[in-house]
Structure 1
């Protein structure tokens, strides 16, 4: 660092602070643009992304161009889409990778046996974030990478019920917006619902996330109670038999939870074996 950006005492000058602020602002705006993509949208124009992100057209187009150069976005005939580089980075997230790997066989079996859509989700800043969906149908609104406030979904409520109190309080501190005809918009009613979910170990969505959509969900937890995510069986209201599906989803969640624990132990053992293998070589005497 040059003397022009740091004074003799070692403290940061206004020039460096402004540069850091600019970089932070750029990252924040890039994330806002990425978040402006909506479920099931493949291509969006830079102008539309800028408008959704609350940026000027010129600023939006400039940042989009930089994101294209970095591989975060790709240009298409109608605008831009999420780039493969973002997919590659996403695959590096240990939590998501382990969760998906352990859940996939269970999800496929659930789909084959029930003919319903199977959703795998994690809780992210009070939102339900769908990390995988196994389904042969295209008539449901959810999509991989899509998000919706956790209180408005069955799988989200299942995760909220077993989350730390500060996470729940943060959700309660905001206005509970209506997404479906039966979305819970009263905080006390939501508290009561979460208490019941904790007691029963299962959560239901009765047209809360979207009109005509219902689900049965359960939290995926480890033996120590740690929350890993949630899994649900989703379909149209007429397809969901809550009583029949409840034990099926609960059993699936327990199986995935056990597999995650076993997967973590296996990964630790592999890491230790690799560490030992790359350790100092024993000294061999000259022949």
Structure 2
């Protein structure tokens, strides 16, 4: 059956293409805590009957995109990882940024992140973490909301009016009492981020956490990524952390070819 053909699952009136259903199965793993899923969970998340999900998941397994463990649960396979590391932009960003992120980690011994914009989310492409660092939910490959994370706020501040409107239209979630969701307050906050060159976030996504983030620019001056330090909330008054993350952001930007503007 061709991907372009449209089929209807029995009793469901599902007219999605076969390709759409296959991608829906992949999307089932694209959320926190989705490292290992049962066939039933995959079917529910992909909105497919279990027999259809079983057939398509089998195709994923034969291709190498998914693996099935002895526990009967499915996990993302190495084939996805092999394709992912071939993506030129994130791969180059990681390669250029890693020495500076390692320096930032050695200086602070806190969580250090790098993220890029992916639709309405911050996609984490690098993370360094120590044993004593504050526990956090982010990991490489995960996506977190723009309005509630340090890196996300930087990306949102430099993402333009259309991105801001789309985030508001999606009704941003108030994860913790400190999470900012009001349009007016967010606008003022994003303007401050652009003016100061960094974003601060305290107890907005994770309890007892403080994040300070700065932009990374390419040779054109466009913001292509954001880096952050995430520490315990008690560190929010440490003036050295905003300075350190901004210096690292500028160093990575220079390595990407950005030149400082002339006075």
TM-score range, shorter chain: 0.7 to 0.9
Tell me the equivalent position of 1:171. Answer: 167
Q: Which moved more, 1:110-119 or 1:215-224?
A: 215-224
Cα contact 2:22–2:56 (8 A) shared by 1 = yes
Q: Distance in 1 between the 2:32 and 2:254 partners?
A: 31
SS in 2 for 1:130: strand
1:50 matched residue in structure 2: 43
- The 8 Å contact of residues 218 and 250 in structure 1, kept in 2 or not, is answered as yes
> Alignment partner for residue 69 of structure 1, among 44, 57, 62?
62
Give 5+ residue unaligned stretches, structure 1.
1-14, 263-287
Query: What is the CA-CA distance between 1:228 and the residue it aligns to?
Result: 1.3
Rounded Cα–Cα distance in structure 1 between residues aligned with 2:53 and 2:101:
39
2:183 pairs with 1:225: no
Partner in structure 2 of residue 129 of structure 1: 123
Deviation by residue 1:249-277 (Cα, 9 ceiling, x = unmatched): 01101111111228xxxxxxxxxxxxxxx
Paired with 2:248 and 2:216, the residues of 1 have a C-alpha distance of 9
Paired residue secondary structure (1:261): coil
SS at match of 1:69: helix
Residue 199 of structure 2: which of 200, 203, 208 is its match? 203
Q: Where does residue 239 of structure 2 map in the other structure?
A: 243
For residues 48 and 237 of structure 2, the distance between their equivalents in structure 1, rounded to whole angstroms, comes to: 46
Q: Which residue of 2 aligns with 1:88?
A: 82
After TM superposition, the structure 1 stretch with the greater mean CA deviation from structure 2, 193-202 or 22-31, is 22-31
Shift of 1:117: 0.6
Query: Residue by residue, what CA displacement relative to the aligned partner does 1:152-196 show, whole Å, maximum 9, x if unpaired?
Result: 111101011111322222112221112223111212211111111
- For the Cα contact (< 8 Å) 1:228–1:257, is it kept in 2? no
Give the superposition deviation at 1:55.
2.4
Assess, with a 3 A threshold, how the Cα gap between structure 1 residues 133 and 40 changes in structure 2: closer, same or farther. Answer: farther
Q: 1:87 to 1:192 in 2, by over 3 A?
A: same
Secondary structure of 2:239's partner? helix
Structure 2 CA distance for partners of 1:259 and 1:173, relative to 1, 3 Å: same
1:98 aligns with 2:92: yes
Change (3 A) 1:225 1:165: farther
Deviation at 1:94, TM superposition (A): 0.9
Q: How many residues align?
A: 247
- Relative to the length of structure 1, the TM-score reads 0.79
Give 1:117's aligned residue: 111
Mark the CA change 1:212 to 1:188 in structure 2 (over 3 Å): closer, same or farther. same
- TM-score normalised over the length of structure 2: 0.86
Query: 1: CA distance between counterparts of 2:122 and 2:98?
Result: 18
**2: CA distance between counterparts of 1:47 and 1:29?**
15
Q: Is the 8 A contact 2:193 2:199 kept in 1?
A: yes
CA distance in 2, matches of 1:179, 1:70: 38
**Contact map agreement 1:181 1:210 (CA 8 A) in 2:** no
| Structure 1 position 20, deviation (Å) | 4.1
Shift of 1:32: 2.8
